Structure 1
């Protein structure tokens, strides 16, 4: 736990760490700088594994809430007990699409306020939820891209949605001390969620045709990447340990990340913090990039992705300038700065 920022009212967070995120990444890291976690007690864990196991599974299976699991059911039960013991606090669901459902019925209990952060793009809500009525019970919604604001206001209510950027640990993700001079120019692709894997082969083909000395490293659970490998040119790793992942980002010359859609993208923030310029597709991620540190093609624009990547691979000076600008940009999203923005919102809600 870092030196947490004091909050005007007590703030308790309901957290979740996704396994596909790098250990030092993910939105749950916000809780290290502000608020206290609601912790699952040993008795509640036992109940979740025994008496509550079947009802929790039934709620998760038939509740019309795609990401909601039996573990979320048990955590909501724990949070309800916590809310009954405290008064006039703020409860922040850090992944509200996943972990907020039944507590909609606890709105106003003991003078508490409930807030939730939303991460998915609008297009996902048709399969995430059978009904979004429970979201009206939130006192406020936080979104991680400005594109989400209009849609979320239709679900939560006008004036009850605030954009606060996703953060990044700029003390962990840092630029390399010195670039390696004994290797080809390297383009890095990482992740699976909302990645445009279908168009990635065409991007790779176009870039390697124009810059034969370049290479691609693909880090992804998506096994389609295995079919893109070429000896000495395109390498695939299904997963790597956190310490190795950090070094692979640091040693990349570019992050080349075709996206179908986006809000905040951890991989983009990680690359920026490591001083690596970004080539990607326009979307919610535009809130985290500007022309000084990244180039954005329109979604589905393979030619635009190839052109931007080739341009930067051929211009060492421009890449260096953009790398420095990338690090400067990332500092705007350091977790302490994001926690201060969140604290301002908490004060408004109290």
Structure 2
């Protein structure tokens, strides 16, 4: 089977974060990155002619399609060939419309946005309905995508995490460091409303916030015990996870969350909102899923963990054990099996 993966990496992800890491664990694949095939101005013009109501399609999408077309033309029509869009919310247009490779060419995509966001941002599903299959990184997407796109082959395969890179410290110093990471679908209102009380109640506690600098204005906590970090490298990010007492992550919605996966891989307890796919990702552990509007529960849970280091250690061990189920090697095997199922 020939495998073509349409690459996409969100610019804020570290080198060891994000769904594009899957490529490193897939073995023999052809990666379509959107290398320049035609002049940029022409690609930009072609991208702008396509309606964004069918998903993001820009100059880089055009380059990807041309690069993919050249690659498809080189394969024998007798060879089963998979085209896997790593991000189903973008880049899918004209090649899938014509499906020039016949029955031996199958298209699939992984979807990352919650159902409410997908329905709002992709109003024209003409192209997506031509997919042969869809991978959902959140269990909360499965029924929606089956109905929305009228697809037979829809499967929940969790997002992965690099458990060799993201790992706990062998000897973790006792601290009362709280960690908040990321910006996508984060509940900044809940963070701003609860954290002042938590920091006031526990005088030793501190908060590290890691996010893109464009989102710094979202944080409105007046305290010298709060530090905001942007533009850090992969190893610094890992150190923040490893040295934290727990990950504090109120969220508005979710499917899969990189920060939660990286947090559990580094042996952290998690306090997050009971929304979207979070419950599935944390099932079987003592981690904390809080009703998203219950600010008092967020505060009480954080204070309880700050005063119980033994509990943090015990839950952290459960987190690490759970994270091994999401190791990219295991996820890659499941995706390979999904590919094969499209030809059966």
1:242-263 CA deviation, whole Å, 9 max, x = no partner? 1111111110000000000000
Once the two structures are TM-superposed, the CA of residue 81 in structure 1 deviates from its matched residue by: 2.4
Match of 1:213 in 2: 204
Match of 2:9 in 1: 17
**157-166 vs 187-196, which deviates more?**
157-166
Change (3 A) 1:169 1:48: farther
Whether the aligned pair in 2 keeps the contact of 1:48 and 1:74 (CA below 8 Å) is no
Distance 1:251 1:40 in 2: 35
**16-25 vs 268-277, which deviates more?**
16-25
Match of 1:164 in 2: 157
Match of 1:251 in 2: 243
Distance 2:136 2:191 in 1: 28
Is 1:302 equivalent to 2:302 in the alignment?
A: no
Aligned with 2:332: secondary structure? helix
Once the two structures are TM-superposed, the CA of residue 46 in structure 1 deviates from its matched residue by: 4.6
Q: For structure 2, list consecutive stretches of 5 or more residues without a partner in the other structure.
A: none
Aligned with 2:73: secondary structure? helix
Match of 2:130 in 1: 137
1:153-179 CA deviation, whole Å, 9 max, x = no partner? 012325321000000000000111322
Is 1:289 equivalent to 2:282 in the alignment?
A: yes
Whether the aligned pair in 2 keeps the contact of 1:94 and 1:117 (CA below 8 Å) is yes
Once the two structures are TM-superposed, the CA of residue 77 in structure 1 deviates from its matched residue by: 2.1
1:118-144 CA deviation, whole Å, 9 max, x = no partner? 000011124422311211100000001
Change (3 A) 1:19 1:41: closer
Aligned pairs, number: 335
Whether the aligned pair in 1 keeps the contact of 2:47 and 2:57 (CA below 8 Å) is no
Match of 2:53 in 1: 64
Q: For structure 1, list consecutive stretches of 5 or more residues without a partner in the other structure.
A: 1-8
Whether the aligned pair in 2 keeps the contact of 1:260 and 1:300 (CA below 8 Å) is no
1:57-103 CA deviation, whole Å, 9 max, x = no partner? 332xx442453321012202221222232233011111111122223
Is 1:146 equivalent to 2:139 in the alignment?
A: yes
Match of 2:84 in 1: 92
User: If the length of structure 1 is used for normalisation, what is the TM-score?
Assistant: 0.90
Once the two structures are TM-superposed, the CA of residue 345 in structure 1 deviates from its matched residue by: 1.1
Aligned alpha-carbon RMSD (Å): 1.9
Whether the aligned pair in 2 keeps the contact of 1:12 and 1:36 (CA below 8 Å) is yes
Once the two structures are TM-superposed, the CA of residue 300 in structure 1 deviates from its matched residue by: 2.3
Match of 1:81 in 2: 70
Change (3 A) 1:291 1:345: closer
**158-167 vs 134-143, which deviates more?**
158-167
Change (3 A) 1:343 1:246: same
Match of 2:266 in 1: 274
**146-155 vs 28-37, which deviates more?**
28-37
Aligned with 1:300: secondary structure? coil
- Which of 323, 327, 339 is the equivalent residue of 1:330? 323
Is 1:237 equivalent to 2:229 in the alignment?
A: yes
Whether the aligned pair in 1 keeps the contact of 2:153 and 2:342 (CA below 8 Å) is no
Once the two structures are TM-superposed, the CA of residue 23 in structure 1 deviates from its matched residue by: 1.5
- Which of 175, 187, 199 is the equivalent residue of 1:196? 187
